[in-house]
């Protein structure tokens, strides 16, 4: 049962345009969401995160939007650059489940290709 879903395996965007990557989740216990970027043969690199008490978080060219009622979040990259080409993973954790560690549940990733 995939609790975090990224329904688009791939996305192709022109340089300078906006990239929108989508993520849906089913577990209502999730209250913290993260986006990671991954190049082949490297570990995931943290990009941006959002707590469930917010609906938007922005960091430079990256903005994450959270719609709790729809259990949906999206990552916007604008303007997109060829160096952004990578696999993007959406991940979620249940912060309020107690304890001091928050295992991540990942989606299957979306391969973003930004064409020059």
Partner 1 sequence: AAGVIQSPRHLIKEKRETATLKCYPIPRHDTVYWYQQGPGQDPQFLISFYEKMQSDKGSIPDRFSAQQFSDYHSELNMSSLELGDSALYFCASSSATSGSYNEQFFGPGTRLTVL
d(CA 109, CA 88): 5
Instruction: Out of 10, 45, 96, 115, point to the residue binding partner 1 (CB under 8 A).
Output: 45
- Binding of partner 1 at residue 44 (CB under 8 A)? yes
Q: Report 47-86 residues binding partner 1 (CB under 8 A).
A: 49, 51
Instruction: Out of 52, 68, 106, 111, point to the residue binding partner 1 (CB under 8 A).
Output: 106
Give the CA dihedral 46, 104, 38, 115, nearest 10 degrees: -90
d(CA 79, CA 62): 9
Name the nearest CA neighbour of 15 among 109, 102, 60, 79.
Answer: 79
Applying CB under 8 A, the residues found at the interface with partner 1 are 4, 32, 34, 36, 41-46, 49, 51, 89, 93, 95, 99-109
């Amino acid at each position: 049962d995939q609790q975090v879903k990224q329904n688009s395996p791939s996305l192709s965007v022109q340089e300078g345009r906006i990239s929108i990557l989508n993520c849906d989740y089913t577990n209502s216990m999730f209250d913290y969401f993260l986006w990671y970027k991954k190049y082949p043969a490297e570990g995931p690199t943290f990009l941006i995160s959002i707590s469930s008490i917010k609906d938007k978080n922005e960091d430079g060219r990256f903005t994450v939007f959270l719609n709790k009622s729809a259990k949906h979040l999206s990552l916007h990259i604008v303007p997109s650059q060829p160096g952004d080409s990578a696999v993007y993973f959406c991940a979620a954790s249940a912060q309020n489940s107690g304890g001091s560690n928050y295992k991540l549940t990942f989606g299957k990733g979306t391969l973003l290709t930004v064409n020059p």
